[in-house]
Structure 1
Amino acid sequence: MSTHTASLFTIATGSSDPIYRQLIEQVRRLIAAAVLKPGDILPSVREVALNLAVNPMTVSKAYNMMETEGLLTRARGVGMLVAHSDKPPGREHLLRPTLERAAAEARQLELDNESVLQLFAKILGEYK
């Protein structure tokens, strides 16, 4: 069981996604990448709010939604823990919405599949 600091999270102030959604997505990705493991302790609402300079209610909302979703569990006197799960979120599952948006845009631009796949392979190669 590891204890994580508030610096675990970042927010994109110019994003159209609400801050609480950004926090939820970050936790999902950190769990999928095994950075956060079952039983790990998340930083307190107060710590995260101070570190990100956001309203504590925003962080609390994110934590509560993740608890409802089953990503986190509340441990009295300890805080929020990463929940034990028989089926942690897969990395592909997290990437799918982004690829669906890209596919829709490719269709709107009337690009053929081969061109889109070649472009994606090129972009992937740039991130090695």
Structure 2
Amino acid sequence: MEEFNASKPIYLQLADRINRQIVSKELKAGEKLPSVREMGIKYSVNPNTIQRTYSELEREGILETKRGQGTFVTEHEDRLIQLRENLKNEQILSFVQVMQEMGFNSYEIISGLQDHLSKYDEGDE
């Protein structure tokens, strides 16, 4: 199990994990999430922290709570597409910032990416 980073609130780190699971299709649209208690045990955190995570993701439209049934991944495809785009853009921004801090220019970054990705293109076809 991954450790938590002390510089970011645990509930936000858990929200990030759930978002990544949704984008990677590990969690599917309409899928039920474990109860607050079960998640608390799984991640060894207080159930109140899980409730805060679920509430935050519900506020963002990623999760939906159905009274008496539990918490589910939204079935709103447009919201899931937006989540995927947001995560992609965050990762790209972070990557580019690190590369620029190391002194790489745009051409070097793009050419390095193209070289790296070309190794995987054969596997996609």
Same fold (TM over 0.5): yes
How far 1:15 sits from its partner (Å)?
5.6
1:101 is aligned to: 94
The number of residue pairs the alignment matches comes to 118
Matching residue within 104, 109, 117 for 1:111: 104
TM-score (norm 1): 0.74
Distance 2:46 2:2 in 1: 13
1:71 is aligned to: 62
Equivalent AA in structure 2 for residue 116 of structure 1: I
Equivalent AA in structure 2 for residue 69 of structure 1: E
How far 1:79 sits from its partner (Å)?
0.9
Contact preservation (8 Å) 1:38, 1:83: yes
Q: Which has the higher helix share?
A: 2
Distance 2:46 2:115 in 1: 40
Contact preservation (8 Å) 1:48, 1:59: yes
Distance 1:56 1:44 in 2: 9
Check 1:107–1:48 CA distance in 2 against 1; reply closer, same or farther (3 A cut).
same
Structure 1 residue ranges without an equivalent (≥5): 1-9
TM-score (norm 2): 0.76
Report 1:1-128 matches (<5 A).
Answer: 11-14=2-5, 16-87=7-78, 88-89=80-81, 91-121=84-114, 125=119
Tell me the C-alpha RMSD between the 2 structures: 2.4
Identity across the alignment (%): 29
How far 1:12 sits from its partner (Å)?
2.6
